[in-house]
């Protein structure tokens, strides 16, 4: 499959499912869930090897890195506010990152999940490109990690606003940190509904969670894996 065909097909499927999701807000109609299903149906129908599609869509995969870096722009715009709440941000995101890893580990052990699956699920609570790299470093399966990241993002994106409403969280700082930590990219997209400040703090939470998990991926995660 050529780069042009794979890119255009993926983009059109995403746009189509995004428009559908605006009309049908049910979680199962989320673009990040429907788009892969449509792609799987197409490559299966036309007997296109998954590896061939991945090679064709490599351009989109490579764009994940620059897209993540571009989040630095809103952070720079609110730099003074970020400095003011730096200790609060660091404590909350560090706690969130630790909870994400330990709950993933604990649940996986409880369900007796296969070792490769367990390792792949540990970096699920950070943005996709960084999660894939951490998964490689700790001996996981990056493709499987991507699936867990998407599921985490969709669940967090759906439940996050409900939790914010239920507990009457009105601070854009708290809203943004909660969404960015729990649902990374999807949460940041949802944070736009709460304003620019919430989006900025969601972006920061997503980036800091990734940075903290990279550090934990060198020390804590290998220690946990050793007990498997």
Give me 137's structure tokens: 């470093």
Query: For residue 37, what are its two tokens?
Result: 């299903």
116-149 pLDDT, tens per residue?
A: 888 888 888 888 878 888 888 888 888 888 888 8
Burial of 174 (0-12, 13-18, 19+ CB in 10 A): middle
Residues 138 and 185 in one domain: yes
**Which residue range is the domain that position 20 belongs to?**
3-62
Same domain, 207 and 107: yes
What pLDDT score was predicted for residue 176? Answer: 92
Token pair recorded at residue 170? 């009105």
Average pLDDT of the chain, as a whole number: 84
Same domain for 155 and 196: yes
User: Looking at residue 126, what DSSP letter applies?
Assistant: S
Domain count, the chain: 2
Compute the average pLDDT of residues 18-24: 85
CB neighbour list of residue 97: distance below 8 Å, 6 or more residues apart: 125, 181, 209, 212, 213, 216
Q: At residue 1, does pLDDT exceed 60?
A: no
Q: What is the pLDDT of residues 210-222, one digit of tens each?
A: 888 888 877 787 7
Q: Is 158 found in the same domain as 136?
A: yes
Last residue of a domain, one of 62, 89, 107: 62
Which pLDDT band, with edges at 50, 70 and 90, does 91 fall under?
very high
The terminus-to-terminus CA distance of the chain in angstroms comes to: 40
Say yes or no: 121 and 211 in one domain: yes
Share of the chain above pLDDT 70, in %: 97
What's the confidence (pLDDT) of residue 175? 92
Averaging pLDDT over each range in 26-30, 50-54, 123-127, which range is the top one?
A: 123-127
């Amino acid at each position: 499959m050529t780069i042009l065909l794979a890119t255009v097909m993926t983009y059109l499927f995403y746009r189509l499912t995004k428009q559908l999701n605006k009309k049908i807000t049910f979680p199962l109609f989320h673009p990040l869930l429907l788009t892969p299903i449509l792609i799987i149906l197409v490559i299966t129908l036309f007997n296109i090897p998954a590896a061939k599609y991945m090679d064709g869509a490599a351009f989109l995969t490579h764009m994940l890195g620059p897209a993540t870096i571009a989040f630095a722009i809103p952070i720079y715009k609110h730099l003074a506010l970020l400095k003011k709440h730096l200790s609060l941000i660091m404590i909350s995101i560090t706690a969130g990152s630790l909870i994400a890893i330990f709950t993933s580990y604990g649940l996986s052990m409880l369900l007796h999940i296969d070792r490769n699956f367990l390792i792949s699920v540990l970096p699920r609570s950070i943005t996709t490109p960084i999660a894939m790299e951490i998964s490689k470093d700790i001996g996981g399966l990056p493709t499987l990690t991507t699936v867990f990241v998407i599921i985490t993002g969709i669940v967090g994106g759906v439940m996050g606003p409900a939790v914010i409403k239920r507990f009457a969280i009105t601070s854009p700082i708290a809203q943004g940190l909660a969404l960015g930590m729990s649902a990374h990219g999807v949460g940041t997209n949802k944070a736009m509904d709460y304003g620019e400040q919430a989006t900025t703090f969601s972006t920061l939470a997503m980036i800091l969670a990734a940075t903290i998990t990279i550090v934990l991926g060198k020390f804590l995660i290998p220690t946990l894996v050793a007990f498997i």
